[in-house]
Amino acid sequence: MTTYRKKLLFTLITLVMVVLMAVGFLLGHLFKSYYIKTFNERIQNETFFISTYIQEHGGIASFLEKGKTEKLTPLLDSNLTILSTNGDILYDSTSSNEILKNHEKVLREITLEKGRKHGEGYEVVEGDSDLHYYWKTVEKDGEIEGFVVHSNEIKAIHQVNKQMWQILIICLGVALIIILMLASKITSYYTRPIEEATMAAIELAKGNYGTRTLERHSDETGMLTTSLNILARNLQETEIAREMNQDRLETLVENIGSGVLLIDSKGYTTVINREFKKSFRVDAATFLFQEYYSVIKDQEVISIIEEIFRTEKTIKRQVKMPLEIERKHFEIYGAPIIGNHDEWKGILLIFHDITELKRLEQMRKDFVANVSHELRTPITSIKGFSETLLDGALKDEKTLKHFLSIILKESDRLQELIQELLNLSKMEQQEFVLKAGVVDLTKILGEIQEMLIGKLKQKEVMLEIKASPDHVYVEGESDRIKQVFINLITNALTYTPNGGRVSVNVIENEQTVDITVQDNGIGIDEKELPRIFERFYRIDKARSRDSGGTGIGLAIVKHIIEVHKGNIRVESTPGTGTTFTVTLNKSLKGKM
């Protein structure tokens, strides 16, 4: 805006200078014309006066004889010359060298050529100093007796003109300075609001909508600044609303539980959210703004995108996709994005991860199959032996007793299975309340060791419990915790060969207690580890069933540990052994 002010000031200065110079030249010309006109009128009047005076006092001869020239000449500022009709100079008061150069020639022209024709006249002889001549005839008795000529240099007019120009230059210079000062203030006064408005407009263009200008005037510039401030406030409010909506949209897209992929009308990926990056393990820097077919590797997803582009219809489809070492199930919802004026905007794809749902569905199927199998086995045994007894085995006391013992054993197993299912279902219910208290882990482990003495001797397995000499306490329900370690230690004994070893190690931490149950049995394959806590999942189905297990013991263990806000981990190497690590809290305050 400084350039604008300079341009405006320069324009005003140029205009003022041109005007002042024009006024100066006009005034100079007017002054000069006025002076010359006055000068000529004075000579004319003097010439007319002398000619009339001579005529009234007897003519030229009488005028010269009486010596009146000596009295009259000092009164005149110009030179006086009296000529006869023949051009002879009767009297001449001229003393200037400049006049004397061409004096006689001019006088001769006046008397012989112009004087007789016109009676009076005016002649200017140009030179270093302009010579002005004015003549008039002198008549006597109706005849021309001679001529009276007034002449003078006009040097004085040059001096006056020079002084006049000096005065004009000084006056115009002072006027120019004053005008410049006033012009500077005026331009500053009127351009400052425009400059401020321009700077505010530049800041608004940069996106700084908090910019405001000072509203000084009530004229057009005031209206400009007021309108600019209103515009800035409206833009600021609009930007705040836009940012809020943008933040809401970004928060919604980023935190939605499904992967989001946006493809523009040209097939370039433009938006992905956090869940998409997490699920597909992609980097936004390399994934975004690329052709979709160059960054998406799954052909089924590409075919869905192409179908949406082709048909412009919504598609919902389930896809199984390999991701590194695992396979995931996704339900893909794809929809075309069409603007208000049927303008094609692109495609929106939402990837719902249904892997867990598929896993739960498979678990449900397995559970139903396993429950059916587990219930069918004892029922089949009971039914078979009952039918055998009814067919005639009742008379054989030994066979009867053997069959009844088997029926009792299978009934007990069936009852145990149903009871454990009821317990598991009860623990999974939200209204399940834990009867928490102080539990002595050292005492519980000792009781379990005494309970399993018979089985230990039968399999010749050594059970070693390593705990602090002092009692170790945790908070929880004693019976549930005891059930956890009975199950874990019993499983360890079951899958440890004769002569093996099972060790229980209790490690006390500041706020938790870690209990490890380690055996050197057959171990568990790595691919089986994620599923060992599922209901009825058996690693060695025949051996597990022969051992008398129900198949839901570890599922119950996991639920009991979770109810106590603890956790359980398992590590195993086939042929080497398995280690279960249970972490329990010393206090459940703030965790329930």
Q: Could you tell me the residue ranges of all domains in the chain?
A: 252-358, 368-426, 431-585
Pick the CATH number of 368-426 from 2.30.30.40, 3.40.50.2020, 2.60.120.200, 1.10.287.130: 1.10.287.130
Alpha helices in 429-527 (DSSP H): 441-451, 453-459, 478-494
The answer, yes or no, to whether residue 471 has pLDDT greater than 60, is yes
What confidence score (pLDDT) does residue 35 get?
75
* Count of C-beta atoms within a 10 Å radius of residue 157: 19
- DSSP for 53-91, please give it: HHHHTTHHHHHHHTTTHHHHGGG-SSEEEEEETTS-EEE
Average pLDDT over all residues of the chain: 78
Give residue-wise pLDDT tens across range 435-466. Answer: 788 888 888 888 888 888 888 888 888 888 88
Report whether pLDDT(90) > 70: yes
Give the pLDDT mean for 335-354. Answer: 88
Could you name the CATH architecture of 252-358?
A: 2-Layer Sandwich (3.30)
pLDDT (tens digit per residue) in 98-128: 555 566 666 766 666 665 666 677 676 665 5
Least confident among 137-146, 284-293, 329-338: 137-146
**Tokens 């006066």 — which residue?**
49
Q: Strand 344-353 and strand 315-323: pairing?
A: unpaired
- Beta bridge partners of residue 146, listed in sequence order: 84, 138
Q: Which of 336, 332, 334 is nearest to 352 (CA)?
A: 332
* Mean pLDDT along residues 397-417: 76
Side-chain-side CA neighbours of 346 within 13 Å: the count stands at 15
d(CA 491, CA 504) in angstroms, rounded, equals 13
Residue 191 has pLDDT above 90, yes or no: no
Q: Determine the average pLDDT of the residues in 71-98.
A: 70
The pLDDT value recorded for residue 545 is: 46
CA-only gyration radius of the chain, Å: 64
Q: For residue 16, what pLDDT is reported?
A: 76
Count of alpha carbons within 13 angstroms of residue 194, beta-carbon side: 13
71 vs 248, residue with greater confidence: 248
Inform me whether the pLDDT recorded for 431 exceeds 60.
no
Average pLDDT over residues 72-82: 71
Q: Per-residue pLDDT for 590 more than 80?
A: no
Secondary structure (DSSP) of 128-182: SS-EEEEEEEEEETTEEEEEEEEEEE-HHHHHHHHHHHHHHHHHHHHHHHHHHHH
Would you state the structure tokens that stand for residue 89, as one six-digit string? Answer: 């100079």
Average of pLDDT values for 212-217?
71
CATH 2.60.40.10 fits 431-585, yes or no: no
24, 41, 128 from 28: Cα distances, Å: 6, 20, 20
For residues 216 and 408, which has the higher predicted lDDT (pLDDT)?
408
Same fold, 252-358 and 431-585: no
Confidence of residue 389 (pLDDT cuts 50, 70, 90): confident
Say which residues have a Cβ less than 8 Å from residue 474's Cβ, sequence separation at least 6: 438, 439, 441, 481, 513, 584, 585, 586
In 3-state terms the chain splits into helix, strand, coil percentages (rounded to 5) of 55, 20, 20
- CB count, 10 Å around CB of 554? 22
Write out 168-233 in H/E/C secondary structure. HHHHHHHHHHHHHHHHHHHHHHHHHHHHHHHHHHHHHHHCCCCCCCCCCCCCHHHHHHHHHHHHHH
Answer yes or no: is pLDDT of 312 > 80.
Answer: yes
Question: What is the reported pLDDT for 348?
Answer: 92
User: Given this model, what pLDDT does residue 421 score?
Assistant: 67
